[in-house]
Structure 1
Amino acid sequence: MDIGKKIRRLRLENNLSQIDLAHILGVSKSTMSNYERNFSTPDPDTLVKLTTYFNVSIDYIFSGADTIAQYEALKESSSYNNGSSSINKDEGKVIQYYRRLSEEHKDYIKGQMVHLLMQENSQKKDLPGFEDPKTNPN
């Protein structure tokens, strides 16, 4: 599913109009429409607002994976129920540091991560085997 379809799906699942979501994100209705039609991609700050409002990950927006479904599958797996974790020591430290930050700094960090993901995704377009979500019909 492409970014525009995911944004539209989240909006509709939360009973919001394009105008409502545009107001929440601080963009115009036409910009919101362009996001949903994949004519443009939200900038990093808008992506942070979007993911924060809908309580979804950046991975959900950019990847083909439905992280909600993955989470539900993980809950059903024995590794989740046995208390094991897929987070390594370094990731755990990053989470601890993040939790100590002010909300302003958390927003900054999220924006930087989105920016880096966008850079990586644009670089991968030139690599064999990378499917551009705008051209992939799934």
Structure 2
Amino acid sequence: MSMMNEFKEFAVKGNVVDMAVGIIIGAAFGKIVSSFVGDVLMPPIGVLLGGVDFSSLVYIVQEATREAPAVVISYGKFIQSMVDFTIVAFAIFLAIKGINSLKKKEEEKPAETPKFSNEEVLLTEIRNLLKEQKQAEH
């Protein structure tokens, strides 16, 4: 099988399409969470910590000169990214926990007893009668 055929088989499988949709939705969800953290959650936390704006927290490694901009370590953005990650991870955890509980409930449902056709019912009755006759002969 050529590599191109293998790729076509891989690309048209339903799982790949589902994964692509998940990635797109995940990226959009990530933007929403980033906005929530940066625009809603972090400002009040900054106020509680004495008016700190986390996105502007930096450590200056080298001051700016006329020839070069300042070299800084933006640890405030890192803190904000960590909060973003924690919220996204928790939201995904809750979603997966909900999905798993639904799957468990589905697995716990008793299986329906199969319904037999008229022919199957008649054949079962004939079989039972033959067994009874055979047992009566012995």
**TM norm structure 1:** 0.27
**Greater share of strand:** 2
Max Rg structure: 2
**TM norm structure 2:** 0.27
**Greater share of helix:** 2
Q: Which fold has the larger relative contact order, with Cα–Cα distance below 8 Å and residues 6 or more apart in sequence? A: 1
